[in-house]
């Protein structure tokens, strides 16, 4: 603020001027120029009420007057601050799918070996053929041979039970194949047994058809010793007769010459 027309006491040495708010509170200060004028600065009190107030410039020394003026305090403008909208972002949880495979169970089935025992009785080849049933040690399969013993050229039939239905059947003896067949739906088969080489003695026959069935048969060779001996005796007889006749003829011939 500034003023004019105010004169100080000629003996005044302090030209300070105080600024008063409503005649009481000092809110600023300034200096007088000595020529009836001056200026000062002041701050409106923070607790000043809204409305008119009196601001007075009062010199420290005696002066012709204390200039004053009115000041109006206006209300502060109301500022409304709108908060920004709140945006909520929802993140869906991550779904983890775990696939568990069922455990794999491996079952190993060993082939069943059925061992059979055959009791064979040697009889004359002219005796009627008997059927021998082979009983396995384990399981319910069996191998049946229609003869206990045979001679070279005799037919032999093998019948088996307890095989895997529809499985191929391989018959072997002494390491050689002697017959083949296919098991029917009930696991039964029947086939001829044919030996490629005849050897006297007992032959063990194995039938492999998913299980192993075992049977045996005796092979006997026909003896021809009696027939050969008779033939030999007849030949010797004729040779001796011929020798006697020849000797007599030579003896008669020498007698005539003498």
Domain C-terminal end among 51, 73, 95: 73
Q: What mean pLDDT is reported for the chain?
A: 76
For 172-184, the pLDDT digits (tens) are: 998 899 999 999 9
Q: How many domains does the chain have?
A: 2
Phi-psi bin for 178: left (phi > 0), alpha (psi -120 to 50), beta?
Answer: alpha
Note whether residue 85 is domain-resident. no
CATH number for position 158: 2.60.40.10
Note whether residue 236 is domain-resident. no
Model confidence at 160, pLDDT cuts 50, 70, 90, reads: very high
What per-residue confidence (pLDDT) applies to 111?
56
Note whether residue 128 is domain-resident. no
The domain in which residue 35 lies consists of 2-73
Task: Name residue, tokens 């993140």.
Answer: 91
What per-residue confidence (pLDDT) applies to 47?
82
pTM: 0.35
Note whether residue 95 is domain-resident. no
Note whether residue 43 is domain-resident. yes
Phi-psi bin for 220: left (phi > 0), alpha (psi -120 to 50), beta?
Answer: beta
For 78-116, the pLDDT digits (tens) are: 777 788 887 777 777 777 777 667 666 555 555 555 544
Note whether residue 87 is domain-resident. no
Note whether residue 258 is domain-resident. no
Asked if 66 contacts 59 with a C-beta cutoff of 8 angstroms, the reply is yes
Note whether residue 107 is domain-resident. no
Q: For the stretch 213-225, what's the b/e string if a residue is b when 16 or more beta carbons lie within 10 angstroms of its beta carbon?
A: bbbbbbbbeeeee
Model confidence at 67, pLDDT cuts 50, 70, 90, reads: confident
């Amino acid at each position: 603020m500034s003023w004019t027309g105010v004169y100080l006491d000629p003996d005044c040495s302090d030209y300070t001027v105080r600024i008063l708010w409503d005649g009481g509170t000092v809110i600023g200060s300034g200096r007088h120029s000595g020529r009836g004028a001056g200026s000062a600065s002041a701050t409106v009190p923070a607790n000043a009420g809204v409305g008119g107030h009196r601001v007075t410039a009062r010199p420290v020394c005696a002066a012709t007057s204390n200039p004053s003026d009115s000041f109006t305090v206006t209300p502060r403008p109301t500022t409304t601050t709108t908060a920004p909208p709140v945006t909520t972002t929802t993140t869906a949880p991550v779904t983890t799918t775990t696939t568990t495979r069922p455990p794999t169970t491996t079952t190993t089935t060993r082939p069943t070996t059925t061992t059979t025992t055959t009791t064979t009785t040697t009889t004359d080849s002219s005796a009627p053929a008997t059927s021998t049933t082979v009983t396995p040690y384990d399981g319910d399969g069996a191998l049946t041979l229609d003869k206990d013993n045979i001679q070279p050229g005799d037919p032999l039939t093998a019948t088996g039970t307890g095989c895997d239905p529809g499985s191929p059947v391989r018959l072997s003896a002494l390491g050689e194949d002697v017959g083949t067949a296919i098991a029917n739906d009930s696991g039964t088969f029947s086939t001829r047994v044919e030996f490629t080489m005849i050897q006297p003695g007992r032959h063990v026959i194995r039938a492999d058809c998913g299980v192993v069935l075992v049977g045996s048969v005796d092979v006997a060779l026909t003896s021809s010793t009696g027939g050969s001996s008779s033939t030999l005796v007849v030949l010797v007889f004729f040779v001796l007769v011929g020798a006697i006749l020849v000797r007599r003829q030579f003896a008669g011939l020498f007698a005539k010459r003498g």
